[in-house]
Chains A and B, each alone.
Chain A
Amino acid sequence: MGLLSDPNRRRALISMLTRLNAPICVVCYFAGVAWFMGLAFEPFTLRTYMSENAMGSTMVEERFPAGERALATGREFAAHKKKVGGMPVDWLVKNMQDRGLEVFTQSFSRTLPFPDENKERYIVKGTNVYGILRAPRAPRTEALVLSAPCSPGDSNNQAVGLLLGLAQYFRNQIYWAKDIIFLVNEHDLIGMQAWLEGYHHTNTTGMSWSPLQGRGGSIQAALSLELSSDVITSLDLVLEGLNGQLPNLDLANLFYAFCQKIGVLCTIQGKLQRNDWDSVSGYSHAVQTMMLMVMKQASGRPWGDHGLFLRYHIEAATIKGVNSFRQYKTDATTIGRLLEGMYRKLNNLLERLHQSYFFYLMPSLSHFVSIGYYMPAFGLLAVILLLRALDLWVQLNTPPSTTEDGVADIDQVRHTLLSVLTPLVISHLTGVALYALPIRFQETAVEHFPVSETEAVVLTAIAIYTAGLALPHNTHRYYIMSAVPDVRGWRVLKLIAVLYLAVLLGCTALINFSLGFILALTLVPLAAFVTPHVPKVLSAFILVILSPACTLLFSVFFFQELQEMPVSFQDGWLLYLSVISQGILDHSLYGSLVYPLIALLVYPCWLLFWNILFWK
């Protein structure tokens, strides 16, 4: 408490902080970035280990024999799918019943707010089919889910085949202590959403679905299977769920342990792990893997069908079969054995997976970075904002005292209050417009311009976003009219804006670290340097470059680069437009929070800084 009560030392500290403010900020920024880049360096990361006792030490012997038969079922499924031209409900029901499951169906329908051009759907109607294998060994209070999507075209037939094969094999085993639900969902995430809402009796997104006729116990864990070829070279694990939520790390550990045991190549973000961490290429490989995870998490969208389970406190992951040009192939029997092993371990769980980490980044499947290690990177960036705020506070508290007249003082306060409140209110109203108008006005836009609905929504959003930039010119007339010159105004506004940004980014980083960090990376330097006295044109250019929309544009290109699929500017722009429309759709379909966060909070906050730049 010495520092808090001793005025001399306080004064020394504060004067040092204000004098060295700029250098300290620069150092903090680079330290933050360096820390973040260091996270991918293997000696700084931890090896993954199984924390859950119930899954750790028990031995499981996998015996699943019927891979070929599963593939045959898959082919049969494909034929029926082609014949019906969608989900072959009757065939699936009959097949699951033959395998001794309790089978139920659920139909659902949903009209999208505007057509989804990526997946070419607007009015979606579909049916989920699921069969429950009742646990013979225990009261049926808990359940596990294995799901496979019924996708259009030729993909994922093998996944459904393997699911049915596993169902048949599991049915004959006596050790199940949890119900196992085999789910074939149509229209990928929309079907999954309908099923989960039906299962938990909630309706968060306004979708219409028929109530479920049969239920198992409370779901402990779920795996979603995607498999489109008879043989595979590797299995890819997808963890990122809705709003950047991740399943418990033990689920990833479990997958990794079984891949090691059975000898299947396993990847995360489609990247194999390498052992040469001390070489440059090895390190950059780890950085790429981690950056891919960061980008995917920051997008806040579910990257597989498992993504929606996480909202219901259910640990879930998607396992994707990848067939590339590698020599060594793995057949369906082996994958079946791997899944059997995983389910048997999950079956041993005595309580929900909770022992291991929920906040982590993975530079490779065998290493992870926990929250304690990556938060300092964000903390170093956030400290900059606090230092700037402190600096502003000190400046505000030591003004050149000229007026001692009480009346003028109160006038000044009122004036400052008004001049600060106006930009705050206006920028938030712009944010509300950005959030609400694009979907509201799509019909009007389609009538008047030669665009499709989707384009109309995206272009309206971009138009409102750009229109917001004209804002300072509008609020300025007010200031010019009032006679009192305002010296404190922009400082007060900047103090508010900086603190606002700090709190906003802090909260975002807690919920979704990647999003918070990426936003901090661009917004913090901007917040630190903007004043009305910097060169206008150059700063305005930098401000626009660092705005959330441009960050998204760069992220799109960067993401493509990371995936080793670089795109031309033209394609990149189209991709950017589709990413925006996907973001809006994700919000209205699944309740993803990224779009409202950007529109209602981050964008207005950025507008405040834009306002400060053009302060007169």
Chain B
Amino acid sequence: MAAPLTLLLIVAVTIRAALFRSSLAELIAERVEVVSPITAWKRVVEGLALLDLGVSPYSGDVFHETPLIIYMFHFLVDYAEITFMVSLNKNIILKHFVVEFRKQKFALEADRYPMDSLELIRSPKEMYYIPLKVAMFYLLNPFTILSCVAKSTCGLNNAVLALFFLSTIKGNVLLSAIFLCLATYQSIYPITLCAPAMLYFMQRQYIPVNFRRVSFWWFIVQYLFMYLGSLFVLICLSFFLLGSWDYLPSVYGFILSVPDLTPNIGLFWYFFAEMFEHFRLFFLCVFQINVFFYTIPLSIKLKEHPVFLMFMQLAVISIFKSYPTVGDVALYLAFLPVWSHLHRFLRNIFLVSCVLLACSVLFPVLWHLWIYAGSANSNFYYAITLLFNVAQILLVSDYFYAFLRREHHLTNGLYLKRKDGSEATLILK
């Protein structure tokens, strides 16, 4: 296990190092698909320059990262490349452990279900390779490579999120709360991951999810206290570092009110560029609520399966967030091998992967036609954005459906019979 992983790490680092040194790095750092106004390295450098001059980095409309990031790079700027490498690679080693827990879980499951669904449960042999696959999916994913070479700070966010997963799966409540709070501090949206984290801990500590039980509420209060407490500390720390509250509107206001309509792979820019100004606030609310809203139905449906819920939340965030980049997409794509036992129930995977592949190639082509050749226009580019997002949504809902179907088969047996004895099929209506 260690040998292939080391090899993988070496390959991944070599690719990145080669790309850092090549002339492509500059080109990649300019791509709108790879960097967003928040995560662009160019803007971080600009913010650093302002900071060095003794001006608030948030004056003007250039820098939108959080204060902690800028102070971190204040010390690390010379080693930026190394930092990004480390953050990415660390990321992976962490992800590994995410999977460890499933081994135990499946061992428990094995004797609970009818015999014929046994083939649905993964053999330890298959489990063994999953961490490696996850690492491979993340490290060799072109999306991750691009976002690392562009030095997008998205890599750091991903690292924080991975740490959150690790500490959650390992059952460390305090660390989990702290990392979740760090992730929230970076980009607000991970706040929805609170629900799966709490559900996971409750499952682990055998606390029933029941609104009438005191232990349930007590746990929630505990977790929220840790979470909000560390958030409070972070926010105050930022305030003391900067000496002003400038960063609040400039970071969180920027994320929530979407003033920068530079094209990206998300859904916001085109709508808000086309919209009449007086509808803006309304649709802003609709679009932002959209990101958070799925937490409720998903947590109700998946309360027994917090880890899958986490994956779903992550996907929803990276599809619907206001400034998505391919780095965000790569994060949840890396978790797909964890659900490899669902593959036999997936229905549209071929269609979806074809569309995703074609879209990712078409992004630069249509961008070229629009911006450089001047022969196409924004509609062409947006059409591809839309298609890309529809494919992602299909992918996620397909996994969701496959998960539910597997659960159904686990309890009811794999080969369903109708009442008259003929073979039955499941239809989703």
Contact = CB atoms under 8 A, between A and B. Distances in A.
A332 to B, nearest CB: 34
A536 interface: no
A6 interface: yes
Contacts of A511: 365, 368-369, 373
B217 interface: no
Given A313-B374, A407-B125, A410-B129, A7 B354 contact: no
Interface string A351-373: 00010001100000000000000
B357 interface: yes
Contact of A386 (B129, B354, B376): B354
Interface in A179-195: none
Interface stretch (A25-33, A499-507, A524-532): A499-507
A596 to B, nearest CB: 15
A386 B353 CA distance: 12
A407 B427 CA distance: 35
A503 B363 CA distance: 12
Interface in B335-394: 347-348, 350, 354, 357-358, 361-362, 365-366, 368-369, 372-376, 394
B357 A510 contact: no
Nearest to B398: A4
Contacts of B354: 386, 389, 499
Given A4-B347, A4-B348, A5-B427, A503 B361 contact: yes
A410 B354 CA distance: 25
Contact of A7 (B126, B350, B425): B425
Nearest to A396: B350
A393 interface: yes
Nearest to A500: B357
B357 A499 contact: yes
A390 interface: yes
A245 B373 contact: yes
A5 B428 contact: yes
A507 B357 contact: no
B375 A6 contact: no
Contacts of B347: 4-5, 7, 10
A354 B378 CA distance: 13
Contacts of B426: 7
Interface string A1-17: 00011111010000000
B361 A358 contact: no
Given A4-B348, A5-B427, A10-B347, A507 B374 contact: no
Contacts of B428: 5
Interface in A1-53: 4-8, 10
B222 interface: no
A7 B368 contact: no
Contact of B126 (A5, A393, A406): A406
B123 interface: yes
Interface in B96-131: 123, 125-126, 129
Nearest to A504: B361
Nearest to A389: B354
A373 B365 CA distance: 21
Contact of B375 (A4, A358, A410): A358
A313 B369 CA distance: 11
A393 to B, nearest CB: 5
A358 B374 contact: yes
B359 to A, nearest CB: 10
A63 B427 CA distance: 77
A507 B125 contact: no
B368 A406 contact: no
Nearest to A8: B425
A422 B394 CA distance: 33
B350 A393 contact: yes
A510 B350 contact: no
B133 to A, nearest CB: 11
A236 B126 CA distance: 69
Interface in B41-66: none
B350 A503 contact: no
A410 B128 CA distance: 12
B357 A503 contact: yes
Contact of B362 (A245, A407, A507): A507
Question: Which among A4, A7, A502 has the highest number of chain B CB atoms within 10 Å?
Answer: A4
A507 B365 contact: yes
A300 B365 CA distance: 16
B361 A507 contact: yes
Interface of A: 4-8, 10, 245-246, 310-311, 313, 354, 358-359, 386, 389-390, 393, 406-407, 410, 499, 502-503, 506-507, 510-511
28 contacts: A5-B427, A5-B429, A6-B427, A7-B347, A7-B425, A7-B426, A8-B425, A8-B427, A310-B373, A311-B373, A313-B372, A354-B374, A358-B374, A358-B375, A389-B354, A390-B350, A406-B123, A410-B129, A502-B358, A503-B357, A506-B358, A507-B361, A507-B362, A507-B365, A510-B362, A510-B366, A511-B365, A511-B368
Given A5-B347, A7-B426, 19 more contacts: A4-B348, A4-B394, A5-B401, A5-B428, A10-B347, A245-B373, A311-B372, A313-B373, A358-B374, A390-B350, A406-B123, A406-B125, A499-B357, A502-B358, A507-B362, A510-B362, A510-B369, A510-B376, A511-B368
* Top 7 closest pairs, chain A to chain B, by CB: A358-B375, A406-B125, A5-B428, A313-B374, A507-B365, A393-B350, A503-B361
